[in-house]
Structure 1
């Protein structure tokens, strides 16, 4: 008798989870996944287009013949598209000391990131953080 009661209660609980159809559980209004996907990547493509337009505004006369400023500008473009995720730097001061062989080492400061690896955001990934 007890087994029958447990089986009946189990069947009733499990059937309660199966009530309703797909139409009543999932919302039927709003954009489709394809529309959300296309809108996200259209926004990303627009950011790339804007970056290319900004790069195209420079004339050949603006670029120095020895290209000293080129790498800095390329770095700025990369960081604009792939920004670094927050990773604070820690500064540590090493007091003057003697090396293992007895030579004096002057005091110095060094800086290193809090986290081991530097992480970069994908295009459009940090829009909510700004």
Structure 2
């Protein structure tokens, strides 16, 4: 199934998140580090990193379901921030730990333009059948 997602009028559009590559086994997104994603002290906001991570896991999960019969929802996410960054772009790459019928678990590494690890997250996603009308 080809990706049929629109980023228009979403948090992803607001934060400037873009899809770099997307397959069922790996999704990479980019996000600018600028006034949209800074915390008050001028560094990348940890919450923006978590939004990038969950976005990558959600798109990866979507690519592993039949959207005609199922939907996905984030159930849990955690993050550890290792390094700060003030400018440039960061890249979040989601890789699967588990792809199941009712849940998926993704590891998302966020790196800067020099491939330095900024943050690592794990996101659990629920796979929910659509209600029949």
Q: TM-score range by the shorter chain?
A: under 0.3
Q: Rg larger in 1 or in 2? A: 1
Bigger RCO (CA 8 Å, 6+ sep): 2
Bigger share in strand: 2
TM-score, normalization by structure 1: 0.23
TM-score, normalization by structure 2: 0.23
Bigger share in helix: 1
